[in-house]
Every structure is written in structure tokens, then in C-alpha cells.
């Protein structure tokens, strides 16, 4: 991540970088509203994308948002969820890979 440093000195992604890694988060204002508690993410897919984008352990945000009990042992994400949450893929690559996966998995 190449954004500003967090209080512990670790690199922190900028809002634009997080948005680039989350296909369902369209602009930094949307992310800002999540951070400030003005809105909750619209879906589990968005939560999983945010977790991956900011390098949180899977389930961290899910538990905090009440999408899973705090002591839940979350199932691993589906292949489609993993593709959607992969920060290494561009939006176009993500869409192409999801389309190919869905075509092959029938």
C-alpha cells in the first residue's frame, strides 16, 4: 500500500486506492461514509472486498458489522467472492475472470 502512514507506522491505503481494489465501492465519498458510520456497506461482497483491500483478516469487518457472530468461524469465501475481493485484479480483469468462471462452472 502506498498511502499515508497509520499511527503504528504501517502504510495505509488512500481512499482512491481502496476504491480501486473494491469494484463495488465507486468513489472515496462512499468509503468516507462507511468510515464515519453514516452508511453501512450494501452487501457482504462489499464487506469482503473492503477486508481484502485494507488487508484485514477475513471476517473482521463481518463480525464488527454484525454480519457474523463475534465468535463465528466463518466459512471460506466462494470462488466468485475471492475473485471479486482480489485487490490485484483490475475491474476489467475481475469482470472477465468472473464471466469465465461462471461460464465454466455452469
Mean pLDDT check: name the lowest of 6-15, 75-84, 87-96: 6-15
pLDDT for res 49? 86
Q: Is 55 a domain residue?
A: yes
Domain count, the chain: 1
Q: Is 7 a domain residue?
A: no
Q: Is 88 a domain residue?
A: yes
Mean pLDDT over 78-106 rounds to 88
Mean pLDDT over 35-58 rounds to 84
* Chain Cα centroid distance, residue 79: 14
Q: Who's near 79: CB < 8 A, 6+ residues apart?
A: 101, 105
d(CA 70, CA 24): 25
Q: Is 10 a domain residue?
A: no
Q: Is 77 a domain residue?
A: yes
Domain that holds residue 88: 15-105
Q: Is 98 a domain residue?
A: yes
Q: Is 48 a domain residue?
A: yes
Question: 66 falls in which pLDDT band (50, 70, 90)?
Answer: confident
Mean pLDDT over 23-48 rounds to 83
Q: Is 63 a domain residue?
A: yes
Question: 96 falls in which pLDDT band (50, 70, 90)?
Answer: very high
Amino acid at each position: 500500500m502506498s498511502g499515508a502512514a497509520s499511527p503504528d507506522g504501517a502504510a495505509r491505503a488512500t481512499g482512491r486506492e481502496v476504491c480501486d481494489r473494491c469494484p463495488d465501492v465507486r468513489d472515496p465519498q462512499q468509503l468516507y461514509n462507511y468510515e464515519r458510520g453514516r452508511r453501512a456497506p450494501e452487501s457482504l461482497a462489499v464487506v469482503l472486498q473492503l477486508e481484502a483491500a485494507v488487508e484485514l483478516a477475513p471476517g473482521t469487518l463481518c463480525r464488527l458489522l454484525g454480519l457474523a457472530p463475534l465468535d463465528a468461524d466463518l466459512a471460506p469465501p466462494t470462488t466468485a467472492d475471492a475473485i471479486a475481493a482480489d485487490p490485484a485484479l483490475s475491474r476489467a480483469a475481475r469482470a472477465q475472470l468472473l464471466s469465465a468462471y461462471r461460464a465454466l462452472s455452469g
